[in-house]
């Protein structure tokens, strides 16, 4: 088999697998394999083929990484639906660390008391933010 055909097959396999992941990284590595196929078709040595494939894959990976950083989904800081909503303190899980369980929307959530206060169980607090799946709560409601 000609070396350029091996590169083309590898490129198509990588692009096909990329369709299952959706991250674009395998896509750029597949494009790098196509670049290796081009170098092979032009008569380049095996080392030149590998260098060409790696160079295109590295540049493409850098571009995808840069694109991902600039297009990150807005985090919980932009999720304003929960801000100001009341929660009920169920129990402290780590009073020294300000961690507790609260009842919110009919479910029990992990929460961090943001203002450093130590309310009793049953107290009504308000959502002031969110850190992953942990609600940030305080005695005063946050304004959205």
- Check whether domain 77-138 has CATH 2.40.50.140, yes or no: yes
Between CA 99 and CA 86 the distance in angstroms is 17
Between CA 81 and CA 74 the distance in angstroms is 14
Between CA 128 and CA 45 the distance in angstroms is 61
DSSP 98: T
pTM above 0.85, yes or no: no
What confidence tens digit (pLDDT) does each residue in 91-139 have?
A: 999 878 889 999 999 999 999 998 778 888 899 999 988 888 899 998 8
Cβ pair 100, 90 in contact under 8 A: yes
**Residue 57 CB contacts under 8 Å (≥ 6 apart), including other chains:** 28, 29, 31, 32, 33, 35
- So where are the chain's domains? 3-70, 77-138
């Amino acid at each position: 088999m000609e070396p350029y055909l091996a590169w083309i097959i590898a490129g198509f396999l990588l692009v096909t697998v990329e369709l299952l992941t959706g991250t674009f990284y395998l896509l750029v590595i597949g494009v790098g394999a196509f670049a290796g196929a081009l170098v092979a078709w032009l008569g380049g040595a095996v080392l030149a083929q590998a260098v060409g494939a790696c160079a295109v894959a590295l540049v493409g990976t850098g571009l995808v990484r840069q694109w991902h950083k600039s297009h990150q989904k807005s985090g919980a800081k932009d999720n304003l639906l929960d801000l100001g909503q009341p929660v009920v303190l169920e129990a402290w899980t780590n009073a020294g660390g300000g961690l507790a369980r609260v009842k919110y929307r009919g479910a029990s959530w992990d929460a961090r008391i943001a203002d450093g206060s130590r309310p009793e169980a049953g107290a009504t607090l308000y959502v002031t933010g969110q850190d992953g799946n942990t609600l940030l709560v305080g005695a005063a409601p946050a304004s959205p």
